[in-house]
Amino acid sequence: MITEGWFPPAGDMHLRIWLGGVAFDYTATAVAAAHLINDWMRKHWCTVELIHDAIEDCCLLPRLPCERLFFGP
């Protein structure tokens, strides 16, 4: 499980996912990001970074593809 203090209770976050040496930047809800990280902890299929920056920067990024799949546990 992840530490609750790392995530805001609501709102959007900036995620960076590394696949094959290429970085993909996305915006996702805090809930979806937390579930993505929990899924990643079971099997490391990529590298995931949580970027702490201004929320205004997140507005310019695309949404995490299939983000709704990570809304539930």
Residue 46 is predicted with a pLDDT of: 80
Alpha-carbon distance of 11 to 8, in angstroms, equals 7
Mean pLDDT of 12-21: 89
Confidence at 3, pLDDT banded by 50, 70, 90: very low
Q: What is the pLDDT of residues 29-61, one digit of tens each?
A: 888 988 888 888 888 878 888 887 655 566 788
Alpha-carbon distance of 32 to 49, in angstroms, equals 14
Least confident piece of the model among 3-7, 14-18, 32-36, 56-60: 3-7
Looking at every residue in the chain, the average pLDDT score rounds to 80
Single-letter code of the amino acid located at 39 = D
Helix, strand, coil percentages, rounded to 5, for the chain: 35, 30, 35
Give the chain's domain count: 1
Residue 24 is predicted with a pLDDT of: 93
Q: For residue 47, list its beta bridge partners.
A: 18
The whole domain housing 21 covers: 4-70
